[in-house]
Chain A
Amino acid sequence: MASTSNDNVPQHMNAPENASDELEPGACHDSILNPTDSFEEFASEMSSSLRETCLTTKSSTISEIQSEILETAEDPKLKAAKSSDDLQTKDGSMSASASNSNLIEENGDDTDDDKDYLQSPELVNKEKHVFILSTAGKPIYSRYGNEDKLAGLCGVIQALVSVIEEQNQDILRFINTKDCKAVFLVKGPLILVAVSKSNESETQLVLQLTYAFNQIVSLLTLTQLNRIFEQRRNYDLRRLLAGAERLIDHLLVFMEKDPAFLLGAVRCLPLPEKARENITNAITTTCHKIRDLVFAIMIAGNQLITLVRMKKYTLHPSDIHLLFNLIRSSESFKTAESWTPICLPKFDATGFLHGHVSYISEDCQACLLLLTVQRDAFTTLSQAKHTIAEKMRRANCLVAINNALNRNEELSTTKPLKHIGIPEIRHFMYKCKSTAQLFSSDPISLDRLQDYRLRHKEGGDIVDKKITKLSDIDYVRNYRKFCNQIHCVATPAKLIFRSSSQDTILSWVTNGFELYVTFDPLMEKDHAIKAVDRLLRWIKKEEERIFIMNAPTF
């Protein structure tokens, strides 16, 4: 690579390509995750035709697994197991008749209530709003404010969408104003809208809306969601989602801060190779006889520790993100073993998996999810969990996890920039495409995400304050438009090198990886390329620690 500095510009661009042939840090043959290019997917969402917006449920992966189990085992219990899971939330207490009712009216003082509310501090000056409503125009969710009071706005949104749909036989995708984008996504019986002043592109916003939709599917399944509205188009979906607004709230913050969403990749907890192997073994040796178990997933601080799967089945990163979000948003998992239905929309949007969710121990914040198609496997899985925890403790895995979570300075992966030793590099993030895994120089810890939430408690107001020290979140914010150019469907860029008075950013995509690096300003191109080369070598050297390089099955 030393010769690159003497080459002329076009060859500069070629130089790193050569490096990529030999170096594709993190790549391995077998992946636990579906390799993604999430952007392409959402770009196709953007260009879908009117007809395609009607969601049809495809054949069910869960049924497939179950019938396979049936075939191999003829398990009579499972055959009889008609799913009778109750809905999570039901509105049971409705008075049966309207007789003897008293209708009192509440402060309906002023005409301009509605208009005033839109100008209230709860709503103005937000960086990004998200509204979810039914196609009948009934509000379901608003990121800020009280969705009830936004019923009028929801009516307007519904009208806009429908007029375009009916009069022009077309789909309303976005409305751009000078400083604001409104992005619309009509999915099945729901309309999702983001109104944003951030630097996110339309595609990136559609991606976030799709996640919000999937979060709802994850709670209800697509089958149920569709059926509810087939039966009753006037249904007020808030009744079924009561208590789950929190999940959507968290997800929206999570998506803005964690590049995992931007890149469609999963972040792994950096661990010594041996420790990860021991954890995986603890799971496989304990669970290999539990026949209905589809996935065993261990996570900590929004990072994947290991994922053991049933042969043939892999998970999509976006499903894992929803699991991260579920765990992160639910304090109750910390206090007790839980048994919960979970629908993973990419895996199978039509049905629920049943999940045993628990933290490994009080002194280790790793959370284990055991996902099965068997409705009454709680006891079996609960026992398995305790065996796994015991095995992990004996093999010193808990210490290893805690060290990584506490960002022990002795680990080379804690402060990668120090170990790489190129002072000009301020920040980088790397995605291995074939395994859909991500590593960045300064991962956002759980605590910092929470701090961020606290600081923005009043919520996402636009701040003009000059940022003095950039955090991972700010770097990622800067990468957004590069990411967008690289994933542009019409004219995708392969390599972008941009200098400004603030910094120099290089982003580079090959068949194997995506890389975003922020350097000091005034960084020269050939210098940058050399630095990137060293960076890639370091990632290659550390790949066994920072990525999950195998795809274990039960």
Chain B
Amino acid sequence: MSSRKKLLLKVIILGDSGVGKTSLMNQFVNKKFSNQYKATIGADFLTKEVIVDDRIVTMQIWDTAGQERFQSLGVAFYRGADCCVLVFDVTAPNTFKSLESWRDEFLIQASPRDPDNFPFVILGNKVDLDNRAVSVKRGQQWCQSKNDIPYFETSAKEAVNVELAFQTIARNALAQETEAELYNEFPDQIKLNANDNGRNRDGDNCAC
């Protein structure tokens, strides 16, 4: 097993209930869509293997429940994530307004080391519907204001931009990983000759 090139990325999908988080994931992983709404309970886990730059990357996708009563699952889910995907419904302005609090919530709970550069991706879903209420411009502006978060308009139903969005997610998470790798070679080795911190040394301490 050559695990040398293997890598697993933990991707978390957040957003209000009903915006299509599970549908997006299903479209990406299984190429399937169902019009029926089934609320996610707690969280779903799906994995998909992709190849980015010759590297086999397993995406471990954590699809969370949007309903508030599951929010207490918090830290558990956010801990150690490589990328966070925030989803809203372009036909429901309130779901767009929630993005801010989802993002804050994530940053508080996951407390990544470098919050400003933590990879987020925003997906405005359901662009196949006619009753659009959040304009492209509004979406883009908000993303720009947040340190240029990549923004995609998607349709889980018609598989619009889903592939591309997830590619970006994998790549951005991986880039973060790579960057960290360069500066993090665990340079400090164990200091073997640290001070003897007052442990009892009897008279007989000759090693011979």
**Which A residues form the contact surface with B (CB < 8 A)?**
59-60, 62-72, 78-79, 81-85, 87, 89-91, 93-98, 100-111, 113-114, 134-139, 146, 148-149, 151-156, 158-159, 161-163, 165-167, 221, 223-224, 227-228, 231-236, 238-239, 242, 245, 288-289, 291-292, 310-312, 350-352, 373, 554
Contacts and interface: CB of A to CB of B under 8 A. Distances in A.
Contacts of A138: 8, 10, 60, 80
A423 to B, nearest CB: 50
Contacts of B80: 134-138, 233-235
B4 interface: yes
Question: Which of B171, B185, B199, B204 has the most CB atoms of chain A within a 10 A radius of its CB?
Answer: B199
Given A67-B193, A232-B184, A351-B192, A151 B207 contact: no
A136 B178 contact: no
B189 interface: yes
Contacts of A64: 196, 199, 201
B207 A311 contact: yes
B73 A159 contact: yes
B171 A98 contact: yes
Contact of A236 (B8, B30, B50): B8
Contacts of B82: 234
Contacts of B163: 105
B51 interface: yes
A100 B206 CA distance: 62
Interface in B159-208: 163, 167, 170-172, 174-175, 177-178, 180-182, 184-186, 189-197, 199, 201-202, 204-208
Nearest to B60: A151
10 contacts: A63-B193, A71-B205, A72-B207, A82-B189, A84-B189, A87-B186, A103-B167, A138-B60, A166-B73, A232-B184
B146 interface: no
Given A159-B73, A224-B190, 13 more contacts: A62-B192, A63-B191, A81-B192, A91-B181, A98-B172, A103-B171, A108-B48, A114-B45, A135-B79, A137-B10, A312-B205, A351-B192, A554-B208
Contacts of B28: 108
B207 A310 contact: yes
Contact of B190 (A136, A221, A554): A221
A312 B47 CA distance: 52
B75 A162 contact: yes
Contacts of B206: 72, 311
B109 to A, nearest CB: 10
Contact of B60 (A98, A152, A163): A152
A502 B194 CA distance: 59
Question: Which of A104, A114, A148 has the most CB atoms of chain B within a 10 A radius of its CB?
Answer: A148
Contacts of A162: 73, 75-77, 79
B7 interface: yes
Given A79-B193, A148-B47, A102 B53 contact: yes
Given A91-B181, A138-B60, A158 B76 contact: yes
Q: Which 10 A-B pairs have the closest CB atoms?
A: A136-B80, A162-B76, A155-B45, A152-B45, A233-B80, A67-B196, A151-B60, A101-B53, A111-B30, A234-B80
Contacts of A103: 50-52, 167, 170-171
B156 interface: no
A231 B4 contact: no
Contacts of A148: 6, 8, 47, 49, 58
A72 B10 contact: no
A242 B208 CA distance: 39
B192 A159 contact: no
A87 B201 CA distance: 32
B96 to A, nearest CB: 28
A63 B47 contact: no
B12 to A, nearest CB: 10
B171 A291 contact: no
A16 B37 CA distance: 72
Contacts of A67: 193, 195-196
B62 interface: yes
Nearest to B32: A111
B144 to A, nearest CB: 21
Given A234-B82, A373-B192, A105 B48 contact: yes
Nearest to B184: A231
B13 interface: no
A165 B180 CA distance: 30
B4 to A, nearest CB: 5
A238 B199 contact: no
B47 A152 contact: yes
B4 A91 contact: yes
B208 A81 contact: no
A233 B79 contact: yes
A312 to B, nearest CB: 7
A289 B192 contact: no
B31 to A, nearest CB: 8
Nearest to B78: A136
Contacts of B184: 231-232
A131 B4 CA distance: 19
B81 interface: yes
Nearest to A70: B193
Contacts of A60: 192, 194
Question: Which of A70, A136, A223 has the most CB atoms of chain B within a 10 A radius of its CB?
Answer: A136
A200 to B, nearest CB: 27
B150 interface: no
A165 B74 CA distance: 12
Nearest to B26: A111
A78 B186 CA distance: 22
Question: Which of A89, A98, A291, A292 has the most CB atoms of chain B within a 10 A radius of its CB?
Answer: A98
A97 B52 CA distance: 11
B29 A111 contact: yes
Given A159-B42, A232-B184, A59 B197 contact: yes
B11 to A, nearest CB: 11
A78 B191 CA distance: 12
Contacts of A66: 192-193
Contacts of A238: 3, 6, 8
B127 interface: no
Contacts of B5: 91, 93
B205 A72 contact: yes
Contacts of A166: 72-76
Contacts of B192: 60, 62-63, 66, 81, 83, 351-352, 373
Contacts of B3: 238-239, 242, 245
A96 B178 contact: yes
A71 B203 CA distance: 12
Interface string B16-34: 0000000000101111100
A59 B200 CA distance: 12
